[in-house]
Amino acid sequence: MIDSPFFKVQPDGSVDIGTMNVKPVTKQDFPRLRRPFAVWLFVAFALGTNAAAKDSGATSGRKAARNLPDIDATEPDAVYIEHETNIFHNAAVANLSANIGLAPGWDAGLSVLNAQFASTASPAASFQPDILVNLEKHWTAENVQVIAGMQNGLGIAASGNAFMNLAYLEYQRHLPDWDVDIDTGLYYANAALANHDSAGLHLNVELPVSGELRFDADYWSGFNALGGTTFRLLYPLYRNWRVGLGVQCPTLDVGDPVVGVLGVYWR
């Protein structure tokens, strides 16, 4: 044991400093330390990329920002429903999706997105949703799955309806030791959906915070109507119900630099 007027080194390697006790970092601490570091690295990357895209096109004017349904496999005969509301300073926009599991490895769904149902603006935009049909094929192994999917449908607008298309390939991995889910993928969206033909990257991380509370960060690259970052806190409310509360930072100028997100999910 080493003694001094300022600190005392104990036999186990810890250091007493006044009333403080500083434990040495051991190999067992590394997984615990890496998890929050990886999340903050993801957040910094998403926000930095988002800010750079905003600076490069700050004069783009008001554009639609779309929420997309979660990319995930639905078990056969199971149903998954999610509803998210985007809350702007002068409007509320609904995004509703329903998925059903078909034969093993397949699921399909229907989405009604970007549907403004409340507004204090004058004149208020009319109810003009995007209606998309979803089809996914997934291959699963232990803690890993690959999903190939597409969403096709109509964007309804006063100027005329437009055919919308989104195709994506997603790799998902569950880390059981940390109870963390990591998704990475690529996407292509046509001009009607994304404002111009676009290809980009999709990243998602979901991890436990405390008890059953979970944190979800979702990033779509690109200076288009899909591009942006969403941060949500997710909590199981009752049985199959889960609620989410967060914020969305769209890449495009949609009138609000930060948009509120309120979600309800049922599986």
- Residues 132-171: tens digit of each pLDDT: 999 999 999 989 999 999 999 999 887 889 999 999 999 9
Q: Considering the domain boundaries, does residue 82 fall inside one?
A: yes
Greater model confidence, 178 or 159: 178
Integer angstrom CA distances of residue 198 from 114, 151, 162, 189, 191: 19, 15, 16, 5, 7
Q: Would you say 193 and 168 are in contact if contact means Cβ atoms under 8 Å apart? A: no
φ/ψ (deg, to 5) at 82:
-135, 140
pLDDT at residue number 176: 95
pLDDT higher than 80, residue 48: no
Q: Considering the domain boundaries, does residue 48 fall inside one?
A: no
pLDDT higher than 50, residue 20: no
Q: Domains in the chain: how many in total?
A: 1
Name the band, by pLDDT with cuts 50, 70 and 90, for residue 70.
confident
Q: Considering the domain boundaries, does residue 67 fall inside one?
A: yes
Q: Would you say 93 and 125 are in contact if contact means Cβ atoms under 8 Å apart? A: no
Greater model confidence, 109 or 123: 109
pTM for the model: 0.75
Q: Considering the domain boundaries, does residue 71 fall inside one?
A: yes
Q: Would you say the C-alpha torsion 91, 72, 185, 111 has a positive or negative sign? A: negative
Q: Considering the domain boundaries, does residue 49 fall inside one?
A: no
Most confident by average pLDDT, 20-29, 114-123, 146-155: 146-155
Q: Would you say 61 and 80 are in contact if contact means Cβ atoms under 8 Å apart? A: no
Q: Which tokens belong to 145? A: 């799955």
Helices and strands (H and E) in the chain: how many: 2, 16
Beta strands in 48-157, from DSSP E residues, in sequence order: 79-87, 91-101, 106-119, 130-141, 144-155
Residue with tokens 């409007």: 91
Residue 239 sits in which domain range?
54-266
Distance CA 51, CA 56 (A): 9
Lowest-pLDDT range of 14-18, 60-64, 142-146, 166-170: 60-64
pLDDT higher than 60, residue 31: no
Q: Considering the domain boundaries, does residue 44 fall inside one?
A: no
pLDDT higher than 50, residue 243: yes
CATH number of the domain where residue 209 is located: 2.40.160.40
Distance CA 215, CA 180 (A): 10
Q: Considering the domain boundaries, does residue 14 fall inside one?
A: no
SS3 42: helix
pLDDT at residue number 71: 79
The number of CA neighbours under 13 Å toward the Cβ of 91 is 19
Residues of the chain above pLDDT 70, percent:
73
Residue with tokens 């034969």: 103
Q: Considering the domain boundaries, does residue 195 fall inside one?
A: yes
pLDDT at residue number 199: 96
pLDDT higher than 50, residue 182: yes
Q: Would you say 115 and 132 are in contact if contact means Cβ atoms under 8 Å apart? A: no
The number of CA neighbours under 13 Å toward the Cβ of 120 is 4
Q: What is the pLDDT of residues 197-229, one digit of tens each?
A: 999 999 999 999 999 999 999 999 999 999 999
